Copies of this chain bind each other. A is one copy, B any other.
Amino acid sequence: MKAIAVRDGAGEPELIELPQPEPAAGEALIRTLRVGVDGTDHEVIAGSHGGSPAGDDYLVLGHEAVGVVEDPNDTDLEAGQLVVPTVRRPPNGDNPYFERGEPDMAPDGQYHERGIVGDHGFMAEYFTSPESTLVTLSPDLAEYGFLVEPISITEKAVEHAEASRSAFEWTPESALVLGNGSLGLLTLAMFEHRFDRTYCLGRRERPDPTIDIIESLESTYINSNETPVPEIPDAYEPPDLIYEATGYAKHPFEAVEALAPNGVLALLGVPGDWEFEFNGGKFHREVVLHNKALVGSVNSNIRHFEAAVESLGALSEAFLSSLVTGIYDLEEFEQAFVDDDTTIKNAVQFSSYEERR
């Protein structure tokens, strides 16, 4: 079968030929429909994040997949069911984080991530996965099912952010999303009916397709070149929740100060080292005197995938079709990895839902 992989050090993806996998006990064989591309894939390809499985000098890419059960094997799944796989797998048999369904909370060394680190991903015509790692979804979600994984990332981050505010009566009205990439826009769409007012910060100038999407969500676009984060409280309002999806290392510090009293900042970006000067005393004081919180979040577990299936179902076709700027067949897979100002979210299509062998 065909797969899209990156060889160690190659710096670009290539099409390779692999044997079709055999499901082990407890696993189903899945025919891949679509696999999304995100910033993590670009980091993996560049070699700045992740790594190949032990013993292999290549990594099959892809962690945002949707597929169809081809062979249920010994599982309770049924052939033809639409499924999305979670990403983390135990590296050496189970460990407590996996046993209790919280692999997203496992520390370094206690997880692999399919398509990212230690385990091959889903960018292949078929993949196998344990039943416990697969969420089912209704056939009408086949087209955009590869968005369940990124949506699950936000489900987790927001769950943790809300938990941090659960010791008192928190009634948030406004949310600010930092970043107008695909994750930022998905999050903004999820927030449309959760908050009275939403804002999205980016650095693009008009005309721009992401700004059009932001405005179609009845959200306010904030151009960071005109209104940087520290000026947002005066220019708009201090937000109750800020969701960071930029990886810009100054954002946590600016955002905490911009929050409304009792607000929370969810951090999701993964920046490199960056030393800078900053008023740590003011940050510290502000967090304390206004009961603020800051919560980091990485990965997601099957509960978040299940919530994400619900959230995906609530997003409009108009939004989804404007977010997904490219679906590319295997023959033109390189196109899916192009990242320019017209690209918002791309995916590779391995087969269509209606196909049968």
- Mark out the residues of chain A between 153 and 173 whose CB falls within 8 Å of any chain B CB in the assembled complex: 159-160, 162-169
Complex contacts, A159 vs chain B, CB 8 Å: 167
A272 within 8 A of B: yes
Q: From A18-26, A246-254, A322-330, give the one contacting chain B.
A: A246-254
> Do A163 and B163 form a contact, CB below 8 Å, given A267-B284, A280-B252, A284-B252?
yes
Q: Is the pair B281, A274 in contact by a Cβ cutoff of 8 Å?
A: yes
Q: Is the pair B167, A281 in contact by a Cβ cutoff of 8 Å?
A: no
Complex contacts, A260 vs chain B, CB 8 Å: 107
- Mark out the residues of chain A between 272 and 331 whose CB falls within 8 Å of any chain B CB in the assembled complex: 272-298
Q: Is the pair A273, B282 in contact by a Cβ cutoff of 8 Å?
A: yes
A262 within 8 A of B: yes
Number of copies of this chain that the complex holds:
2
Q: CB < 8 Å: which of B100, B271, B276, B295 contacts A164?
A: B295
> Do A275 and B284 form a contact, CB below 8 Å, given A102-B169, A270-B289, A293-B164?
no
A269 within 8 A of B: yes
Complex contacts, A107 vs chain B, CB 8 Å: 260-262, 290
A151, chain B: closest CB distance, angstroms: 17
- Mark out the residues of chain A between 184 and 223 whose CB falls within 8 Å of any chain B CB in the assembled complex: none
Q: Which residues from chain A sit less than 8 Å from chain B, CB to CB?
A: 100, 102, 104-105, 107-108, 159-160, 162-169, 247, 249-253, 260-262, 267-298
